Chain A
Amino acid sequence: MAEASRNRTEMIVFEKVVKQFGDNVVLRELDFAVKPGEHVTLIGPSGSGKTTILRLLMTLERANSGTIRVGDDYLTHMERKGKLVPCDEKHLRKVRRRIGMVFQQFNLFPNMTVTGNLIEAPVRVLGLSKDEAVERARGLLELVGLGEKADAHPSQLSGGQQQRVAIARALAMQPDVLLLDEVTSALDPELVAGVLNVLKDIAKSTDITMLCVTHEMGFARDVSDRVLMFDQGQVVEEAPPEKLFTDPDQQRTRDFLRAVLERK
């Protein structure tokens, strides 16, 4: 691992990350890395710690121990005189700027229009002028197929439309890494395809790094370069999707996939 920690070509590196809630250990000394532009999908049973990984990266949770790196920077630490110390707010904001997240429950701001949602952070955080931000928002709404909804309020949109707005909102910050946390789980079945198609387009047409927690195995197969099977806070198996979904090495992976496919 000492070798890998000097290898700064990775976009995301987890090293010996431990996260526990009370007595419940969610991540046990987790190690894994994601390359720039790579699309990685995390699968596994509920409670296996997949979502926690995304929440740690988005700084919505703090690890109990271990380090997380994004590009050249530690996420919640900084180097001072060769030692790692907890970082300050300024450092955190700088690193966080490289990461965007789409949530299961969309979390659009209901007090703003669609355009308002999309320009808020570019104007307030990136310092874009309002015109520039609106221009960027317009382009992104076209990308997600909602060009005509610019002035709508979130409550006037279907779940699928809201989620596509949320994707556009995350992209408006032009992050290096996009975290997708079960983005179709809260949607009616007929709305899932629209959201997944948008994400497939983004995966194909941009060089954004994607880290995705999903139960949509078809989607995982289509967009992923690599799939990680999780259980009990550890990576059980990782492989390209064509290998992992058809010929997994681990019994636990086989059991999980069978259970998921039977549920469908």
Chain B
Amino acid sequence: MLWDWDYAIEILPELLRGLVLTVQATLLGSAVAYLLGLVFALVRRSRIPVLSQAIWLLVEFVRSTPLLVQLFFLFFVLPDLGIRFDAFTTGVIGLGLHYACYTAEAYRAGIEAVPKGQWEACTALNLPPYRVWTGVILPQAVPRVLPALGNYMISMFKETPLLLAISVLELVGAAREAGSDTFRYTEPFTLAGIFFLLVSYPAGVLVRRLERRVGFAH
């Protein structure tokens, strides 16, 4: 028989634990990507000598190399330098850093879309730079960027299986683990696929709805 319901139900709790870990890694990784990406975008815009170029180099480097290589680097090389995190934390940092280099670009586009007149009004009113950003520019830039940020979260969610390479037992890792006990892989991987679909698809619909709303606002 190709499909064994009893077996499927038996491995369900294990897979659900994997799903929870996957969702946790995605949410935490996204939080890192959203914050760090904003910092990257602001530093690059600030044109602070050296620092600004250093961030540019980092962003280009991360965007030009595979996430898997970056994860291995964080997991295997950093401990040699005396920086030690557990696998899950390393995974969250890896995902967050990787996607920060993409969200930075989204923020940059959002900031550039704020009309020049807004900056000029800030100058005319003599607003301090901190208030220009927090009171005027970011409140207008960030809503435009939200759909892009949402899409990056969905992409990240689908890339979490890479954490398996650094021994985080997320959803696909849990499925493989379940299968390796019994040499039956049909049920675990099918269920894993269905779980991904059940989260990704509604999330995608939500982002598209958000896109339409942001589109209407402008």
Using a CB–CB distance below 8 Å, which chain A residues touch chain B? 58-60, 93, 96-97, 99-101, 103, 105-112, 120-121, 124-125, 169-170, 173
CB-CB under 8 A from B120, the residues of chain A are 58, 60, 103, 107
CB-CB under 8 A from B23, the residues of chain A are none
Chain B residue with Cβ nearest A97: B126
Q: A111-B139, A111-B140 are in contact. Are A60 and B121 (CB under 8 A)?
A: no
CB-CB under 8 A from A103, the residues of chain B are 117, 120-121, 124
> Digit string of B115-138 for contact with A (CB within 8 Å is 1, else 0)?
101101101111110010001100
CB-CB under 8 A from A110, the residues of chain B are 140
CB distance from B127 to the nearest CB of A (A): 6
The residue from A96, A100, A107 contacting B118, defined by CB atoms under 8 A apart: A107
CB-CB under 8 A from A111, the residues of chain B are 136, 139-140
The residue from B115, B121, B127 contacting A125, defined by CB atoms under 8 A apart: B127
Of B115, B124, B131, B139, the most chain A CB neighbours within 10 A belong to B124
- B side interface size, CB within 8 A: 16
Chain A residue with Cβ nearest B136: A109
- The SS class assigned to the A binding surface is loop
B135–A58 touching, CB < 8 Å: no
Chain A residue with Cβ nearest B124: A101
CB-CB under 8 A from A124, the residues of chain B are 127-128, 131, 135
CB-CB under 8 A from B124, the residues of chain A are 58, 60, 99-101, 103, 170
Chain B residue with Cβ nearest A103: B117
Chain B residue with Cβ nearest A101: B124
Of B120, B121, B123, the most chain A CB neighbours within 10 A belong to B121
CB-CB under 8 A from B117, the residues of chain A are 103, 105-107
CB distance from B5 to the nearest CB of A (A): 54
Chain B residue with Cβ nearest A55: B120
CB-CB under 8 A from B136, the residues of chain A are 109, 111
Known: A96-B123, A107-B117, A170-B124. 13 other contacts (CB 8 A): A58-B120, A96-B126, A99-B124, A100-B125, A101-B124, A105-B117, A107-B120, A112-B135, A120-B127, A120-B135, A124-B131, A125-B127, A125-B128
> Digit string of B69-87 for contact with A (CB within 8 Å is 1, else 0)?
0000000000000000000
B123–A93 touching, CB < 8 Å: no
Chain B residue with Cβ nearest A89: B129
Chain B residue with Cβ nearest A95: B126
How far is A117 from B124 in the complex, measured between Cα atoms in Å?
13
